Structure 1
Amino acid sequence: MFFKPSDHPGSFERHLYRKVDNPLFVNKVELNDDTLEAAQRQDHEVIVQFMAMFQETLEKTVALKGTEESDVVLALKDRLDKLYEQASAIGDDQTKIREAIVKLLQLIMASVRKGAGEDAHAHQELDQEEAARQAHFALLESSIVADLLNPESPIAENELVPVLLSAEKDELALVVQIFDEEQIQQVIKESAKLVDKLDKQGIDTKQASENAVFIQGYLEYLRMEKK
């Protein structure tokens, strides 16, 4: 092959690797110069778009004034949260970018806390928000979570179950947390159909079956949490 795999692949290249020689996916995909070049080109286009948005948001955040309207501050905070999600999915090593986004969010949150004054309830809500953000960012360490939440996600709706059934256990444990009970039930239903279909074709479904059992276990956990 003329094209080489990236050291830090983005969503499209990662998804290409998931599908290669994977019988769980309906559409067969080969790893060759054409498919790899196409995936890397798409990832590069996403990086270019991301960097433009990041630079614009960086400038707006740094230029914030203490008298800025709260809706402006909150809009920037939401945008930074989304940029962190995207930075977790795009190609190349974005460690420093993610660290920069965290620092910008800290700057924003400091401004919001200042605006809350002595309101204890408001500060408690901000504490909860920051804890939720940290937990969410931890989930984004999973490339599948990052790819699913990526606005430019290459994972089609009908590919979700194959992706989950192909995932390594430690990553699957993170991914299931982004779904609610109803979504998990649907995944379990579709997983059973897919595993049964592949079994009848004589295809090895050991990992897929184990992952389906794991997902079922997570559903039981969700139900117990509600009691």
Structure 2
Amino acid sequence: MSLLFSERPGRHERHLLRKHENPLFPEAARQLTQAQLREAQRRDHEELVAYIGYLRGLVGEAVALGPHEQSDVILGLKERLDQAYETACRLADDQTPNKEAIKKLVEVIMRSVWKGSGNDSLAHQELEQEEIARRAHYELLESPLVADLLDPESPIAQDELLPALLSADQAEFEAAVTLFDPVQLKALLTQAVSQPIPDASGEIFEQGVARMEQIKARAKSLQVE
């Protein structure tokens, strides 16, 4: 019986798909049954339903903000909206409408923060830097692998991190590898010693070797010993 995959999987199903018949993962992890797939889809659906309710609550809070709301309340809501954007990037189905709604709400909040900063040039500089960083972060989250790696409850186990990176497509790999600081890169290189790429042929193995060289090059550029 053929497996029935979702058109737009959530984080649980997506990670099963990463491992499915992927020779860079341990053999036991590559096997996938319809029961496992259904369970992952069920969990993804439950998370989606819970998220929709949570997001509606955030929108309600944003709409209810008064013109003289305290700054800590405004910034607290903005932080939760940023977190909600991250969550949306991990969920099943097309989350574009929700992400666009969050962006608009954050823009409204930031206009209020800008207005409250008055003529403070230092505050303006910090706000500009924050906006640049937020746009870059949102763009980075468009990579499903990045979104899953940044998940506080990531489905990617520590011993699955290296094969997940090595088997990613080039764009996802390049985005994901920027998340790792020198200490984490060193840990990846150490993991590569204990989890060497299998000695085999084929495109996925060649890709894994190439990705490993890219990780070593980035580690060298960051002066990781």
Of 124-133 and 143-152, more deviation after overlay is shown by 143-152
Give 1:121's aligned residue: 122
Which residue identity lines up with residue 117 of structure 2 in the other structure?
A
Give 1:137's aligned residue: 138
Distance between the aligned counterparts of 1:2 and 1:206, measured in 2? 28
Distance between the aligned counterparts of 1:74 and 1:144, measured in 2? 28
Structure 1 SS opposite 2:155: coil
Which residue identity lines up with residue 85 of structure 1 in the other structure?
E
Please tell me whether the aligned partners of residues 12 and 39 of structure 1 are also in contact (alpha carbons under 8 angstroms).
yes
- CA shift, 1:131, in A, is 0.2
- CA shift, 1:42, in A, is 1.0
Count of equivalent residues: 221
Please tell me whether the aligned partners of residues 23 and 30 of structure 2 are also in contact (alpha carbons under 8 angstroms).
no
Give 2:171's aligned residue: 170
4+ aligned runs moved over 4 Å, structure 1: none
- CA shift, 1:4, in A, is 2.3
Q: Deviations over 1:79-129 (max 9, x none)?
A: 011110110110000001000000010011011111111111101100000
- CA shift, 1:221, in A, is 3.1
Please tell me whether the aligned partners of residues 146 and 176 of structure 2 are also in contact (alpha carbons under 8 angstroms).
yes
Gaps of 5+ in 1: none
Give 1:207's aligned residue: 207
Equivalent positions of 1:1-227 (< 5 A) are: 1=1, 4-26=4-26, 27-195=28-196, 198-199=198-199, 202=200, 205-223=205-223
Distance between the aligned counterparts of 1:223 and 1:100, measured in 2? 41
Which residue identity lines up with residue 75 of structure 2 in the other structure?
L
Please tell me whether the aligned partners of residues 48 and 92 of structure 2 are also in contact (alpha carbons under 8 angstroms).
yes
- CA shift, 1:2, in A, is 7.3
Structure 2 SS opposite 1:67: coil
Please tell me whether the aligned partners of residues 3 and 37 of structure 1 are also in contact (alpha carbons under 8 angstroms).
no
- CA shift, 1:192, in A, is 3.5
Gaps of 5+ in 2: none
Identity %: 45
Q: Deviations over 1:186-207 (max 9, x none)?
A: 11221243225x23xx576322
* Bigger fraction of residues in helix: 1
Q: What is the RMSD computed on CA atoms of the aligned residues?
A: 1.8
